[in-house]
Structure 1
Amino acid sequence: MILEVAILNVIPGQEDAFIEAFSKAKGVISKMKGYISHQLKRCIENTSQFVLLVEWEKLTDHTEGFRGSKEYEEWKGLLHHFYDPFPTVEHYTDIE
């Protein structure tokens, strides 16, 4: 299992619209090959910041499968205009 971690800095004032768009976008990602689960969390101290945690079966399910798909274009259209700056996405694996 691979954990994708993305810190999402949403343009202030756009948080509610982002949450609404994400409710549509989660239906896109959840149908992808290798998708296991996701969580979207909102920062308490900075309410414009969110963290997205997505579990994938393997790294390439995200980096090649999802990012190379037509579904990713839909995801991008729903969400990417909310971010400033654009998020850094990193991947983690279990050590124990």
Structure 2
Amino acid sequence: MILELADIRIHSGQQVAFDVAIQQGLNQVIVHAKGFRGFKVNKGIESPERYVLMIFWDTLENHTIDFRESAAFTEWRSIVGPFFSAPPMVEHFNLLAKSA
């Protein structure tokens, strides 16, 4: 399983609206993507305009090709993109270890 980690920064004062938008985008678009396995969204305490989005995929290609090159990606970005103060930093990770 692959972890996609997106560090998202939004415009100040838009947290309430973005909270709704990101959940809408995840539930209406992302959950239907090929290879999707789950997600987590964390919201900054010290930096309330910062969000960490974690999406779990079967393969790297499920995110980078199947999703990113689909119409669903355009739909996703139309929902959440207007809130971004800068493009999200996105990286992918393999699991090394976990607790029981």
1:72 aligns with 73
Measured against aligned partners, the alpha-carbon deviations of 1:2-29 in whole angstroms (never above 9, x if no partner) come to 0000111010011111111112101210
What TM-score, normalized by structure 1, do the two folds share? 0.95
| Structure 2 gap ranges (5+) | none
1:84 aligns with 85
1:12 aligns with 12
For residues 71 and 57 of structure 1, the distance between their equivalents in structure 2, rounded to whole angstroms, comes to 17
For residues 32 and 17 of structure 2, the distance between their equivalents in structure 1, rounded to whole angstroms, comes to 23
Q: CA deviation at 1:95?
A: 2.4
Identical-pair percentage? 33
Mapping for residues 18-57 of structure 1, pairs under 5 Å:
18-27=18-27, 28-57=29-58
For residues 66 and 20 of structure 1, the distance between their equivalents in structure 2, rounded to whole angstroms, comes to 22
1:95 aligns with 96
For residues 42 and 87 of structure 2, the distance between their equivalents in structure 1, rounded to whole angstroms, comes to 17
Runs of 4+ in 1 over 2 A off after TM superposition: none
Tell me how many residue pairs correspond in the alignment: 96
What TM-score, normalized by structure 2, do the two folds share? 0.92
Q: CA deviation at 1:88?
A: 1.0
| Structure 1 gap ranges (5+) | none
